[in-house]
Structure 1
Amino acid sequence: MAELEQRKVNTLVSFLLVLAAMAILVTGVVMGLGNPPANWLTVAVFLISVGVAAVYQMPTGRVSGLPPLGVTGALLVVATIGTNPAFDVAMWVLAYFTSKAVITRAPWVAAQWTGVAAVAAVAFVAVSRALIDLGLFAPLAIVLSMAVYMAVVLALEFVRERGQWSINQSFGISALSPVRLLVILAICSVVAVGIYAVSSGLLGLVDGSEDELRLARQTIPLLVVALFFYGAAKRRQTRSSERRLSGVVDAARALPWDLQQDPKESMVLFARRAIEAADFEVRRTPPGRNEIGARFSSINAADPQLTPESIDRGEDDVSQEHQEDAVEPTEYLVASRKTGGGPFTPDDELALDAIGHIASETARVRGAYDTLLDRVDRDSLTGLPNYNAFQRSLARLNEDRSYASGIAVLFIDLDQFKRLNDTEGHHIGDEVLSTVATRLRASVRPHDFVARVGGDEFVVILTKLQSLAESKAVADHIVGNIGTPATLGGREYRPLVSVGLAYSGHQETDPQSIVVDADHSMLAIKKSRRQGGPSFESSIGISPHRSSRINEIVAKAIDDGVLNVVYQPIVNTLEDKIWAFESLVRYTHPELGRISTSSLIEKAKGLGRMDLLTKQVIEASLKSAREFRKVVPGISVMTINLEVEQIRDEHVGAFLKDIVPRYPDVSLCLELNERSTKDIDDDLRAQAEHFRQLGMLIALDDYGSEASSVGALVRIPMDILKIDRSLVDNLDDTRQREVVRALQGFGDAFDYSTVVEGIETQDAVDVLVGIGVRHAQGFFYGRPVPFSQTMSRLKAYGAAGTITRPGIVSPPPPPVAGRGPAVQRDSAVQTG
């Protein structure tokens, strides 16, 4: 409202000034007609001189935009010494208006400026004539009158500009330059006094009649002044043209190639170099009064969501609606000069238009560049950066971080994704990937990075970390958000992920090593699932290679004997009864949380403490088995995991020979990893046979995982064949069922008990029973839990395998032709 009122006041002031100019012009003309001049040639020369001299303007301020002043006021000295001052002033006003109107091509603006000049002209003539009449020395009177002229012009312009003459465009006069004003006063005073001296005959002329001398004295100084300052104006115009040309050329050279610079900012920068104006801005509205402008099509220009840096950060894509709105938004580069300032020229408009056109082309190139980069470096399904962008960002983040700033890489694998695609369809798989991607973006911090690097694999780069514990806390938050249930295709789905975490506390020579360690940790988590680890919850494995602190933690935990042993039941599927438990090791650090079993084992090996760890598990397992038998006497088998080499006497063999006889009521089963049996020798076979004679059982573990070979089935004596969960992850597949049936038949033929791992549903149990499998292990029957929880289960449910159906026991299995020895061996295993 205040601004509107101010505009009304400005309009009123301008209108009054125009009326004043018209009144002065009409009054002078009327008086001139009553007392016509003696020589109209003198009048014509005066008009031409004023019009030409009005072209030259001198700046009055330290910055652009303040009203300039010219030497036209000095020509008013003609009216001071003339016989008809009102007519002379009227002619001066007419010539001034005509010159300004031609230059600006804006009659109303020219009329406003003329109003200001007309009032000042009247003041100049009135003061100069009055002072001379009072007897003041004429040149001094003219100088004082020239100062009055300038003061009136500045005062009226100050009022019209609402007093905003400070450097910061607020109220004040700090932008006005006293030095420039004194120079202008000096120049105008010299011109005015010179004209006065020649016109008054003080300098005289050499030859000629009286009329010729009078005409020469009245016209020659005017013509000299006009020609001199017209030449100065042309010289300034040439310099302005050079400036405009330089600005346009600089823009043409720099703008199209500087793709990292905002085209709008560059456009304004080069416009300032080319054109003198009070202010420049890029806006949606076209130029108004006292402004010039150029159209600018900002196609994707300076959009932070489409820059290479935003691709590197993994930011969200711009919405489709936003992209459509931003295809070709028309904006204007506008240059404005304060009212009363020098006029814009056609060349100014052409220069501004050229810069705007170049900037538009730059924006178009920038948009095309961003689009291409977006297509190259983004995953089309999730909108996340892809592997290429990830590699580039990892190198940049590793190089740019400060010495004390840590980073971490999370390698995230979406578990059971292939099964989901095969059973539910690829459209559901795509929805899952998009959901996980959205949750990842929402979970990370602004300075972190997310990418999709494979079919069901994602990576996160955590930055600005202070410790491994901090990276683990952030990772826990991310995994928690990912695992929130989602409804897809009308069914509830809970994403399950395996995460490998690798922390780096200092700048890496090869940042790719962080990714390798994170990947290994993730694969170790997946392996631990196959070995009885958590299958219904997401897990994070911390790389044992990335922090010396992990070494210290694991070493201390083993040395202090504080590792936890958990137990998972092995069940006879026909009788639905537990006959054995597998012992697994776990460790939860108070600060870092649970350290994955695979990392724990790998670290123990590297620290030379694997044998000590195994002995602790054996001793704890045998003690627990004795307590389990007190509750359920039929459970007498305890299985533990070993590498084949560990059964040598110098490792764990001698310990086993010593401790096992102390527990005659417990059958200890040694689960030997299938991959470790490839280098077995005669001594190891003999040691295994000796253990069997001592009452221990030998199991071949993880058969069917990775590159299992048939040779593993005959390399070492064994009693139990454990089939890896990877062979039963989709029992709807006929091939999997037939492979399991064949392995069960092989076990029956050679008197092996066959145990299928990774069973998680009743449907899987039913299928296995249908193809003759009699023993199973998996989350369906129970997760690995500590001793106290296992005891609570046994006290509450006894040997029941499926505790969700207590009291229901299947009838004894019918005799199976050709399988007598195998069934008898199974019974022996159950009873110990």
Structure 2
Amino acid sequence: MTDATRLMPEDEATRRQILSAQALAVLDGVVLSLAANCFLAATTAAVLWLDEPGAGILAWLAAVFAINLARYIGVRIVRRLNCAVERPKRALGVLSLGALGGGLAWSLPPFIGTLHGANGLNPYLIFIIGGICAGSLMQSTAYSRTALLFAGPPLAAAILSLLITGTSAALVIAADALLLAVMMLRASQLSEAGFIRSQIDRLKAVALAASLSDANGEIRQSYQQLASLANRDALTGLGNRALFNQRLRDLLDKSVPTGALALLVIDLDRFKAINDTMGHGAGDAVLIEIADRLASLTGPTDTVVRLGGDEFAVIIEGQAAEARGRAIGDGIVRLAGDPIVIGGRPVTVGASAGLALHPQHGETADDLFASADIALYAAKEGGRRRLGLFNPILKARIERQRLIETTLTDAIADRALQVVFQPQVELATGRVTGFEALLRWMHPELGAVSPPDIVRAAHALHISTALTGYVANCAAELLRTLPRLGLPEAAVAVNVSPREFSGDTLSRLLTDITRAHDISPALMEIEITEEATLDTQAAGAELARLEAAGFRLAVDDFGMGHSSLAYLVSLHIDRLKIDRSFVKGIATSRENQALISALIGIGHALSIDIVVEGVENEEEAEVLRMLGCRHAQGYYFARPMPANDIPRWLDQHAERIA
């Protein structure tokens, strides 16, 4: 490996720049070299002609001129196409090919005419060959290959011809020529390495200068932005979050009289829809208009800010802060409902607001803001477009959810969550066909925690997969015992949150669980809510992986959402579970009977099994059987029970249907 090769950087862009510099350097001297080459060829031909005229000399001279003309044309083409910059490898290839052609042409003179002069040698010819080889080296300091391709053939031919002559003087000159060739080779490589080193240093210097310039520009720009945005929102002209935080803390650091400080937090109700349908330009226009309307409701002592996105806040100071806060909150809720004209089109947004008072609802900035935010959340939950005032009940609800979240991870690890199972039966025979796994949690401080609260906490903690794994393991343990209870084909359904279908984690988890317990995936039914099937790229891919792994797929609460029937077919759904709302009052409701019949018909048409949930009495069970429903579950058959109670219930159930 040559010095030049070792110096070449691995970065492709830098290599390209160095090759381009080499090509440009060779191009700069090639035209002058061609002119000198033609002149030397003419004088060399004349010397050879005077020594011994012959047609070979003229043919050689014509060949040199033709090759040099071709090299000149190649140089012009390379320059015109800007190959040295855009395709430097190709440019160097063309130049190297031309150098080789010239070198081969100059390898012929030692064999044309005679080498013998007065002393048995033609010193002029040896001098010319050595000179043009040295000249090629000086002209190609940037790229050794062109020099070596040009000088190599003439030197080799000269050395060979001297060896053929065989005289002592010829052998000495041949040795000198060989030494010259070695020195030229080394000098050419060192010269190219030096050129590459200088180009690398130049590129580093340019990059450093550009980086420093960019960094300096970014620093200046950042400083200007920070200076202009330190306390103001660039879009609305209101204060920003930094001003809000500083102002609220400054006020609370002082002794604020009771009733002299209130905090109002406002959030727009339909802002995202406007951004999505009309574009961000329309959204900005809405924010500016809402900011103007909000500012018109406040006084000179109030601090009005945009916290970010579509969220605003007002710090109300002075006497009667609560009354003024209510007035501003009610006012912005009212004004935000008035249409905003954008591009000649009226747009209605709406707003919700939450109000908290100091010191009743918080003595620190964080506590006061959290209280106002809770009041805002309650206003949205209550139907939006209203003002909510913080109260301790709201706080208790939030604190309850936070306590659930802080203890859920340990509850899963300690197996404090209880998994119970509700049987599914065949309506015609009463035969047990499966079970549904359901979560129960008797919290040591909160008492019974509902499954939706558990799922919501798991999602907030990003442990939904761990929760599903916990339930699936319990289901797998039951599946291992069912064959001993005479139910080898009974399946166990596991509910899965739609949020778990964004990757392949769920399918890998469930596959590992079934393998660890040595049970068939076909006996574990994965129940998904209808909305999960709407995301064809995320949920669809994961459901397809589950189906391919052999798991049974069921859609829970079918008929309550917006599933695509074509998509259900493509996923090979095994079961549809009809919600309790369709069963209630079915004995007397023709409408519910028609709906159930239609849903059952869909199931039959798609070869999908139907299970009706929430069957609570014999009359409902009989009507469903008559309508063609095969499977059902509900309190009429059994309440959810621990796995240990299933054998006793099975015995009782067998006696009842016997």
Bin of the TM-score, shorter chain as denominator length: 0.3 to 0.5
TM-score by length of 1: 0.32
TM-score by length of 2: 0.40
Rg: which structure is higher? Answer: 1
- Structure with more helix by fraction: 2
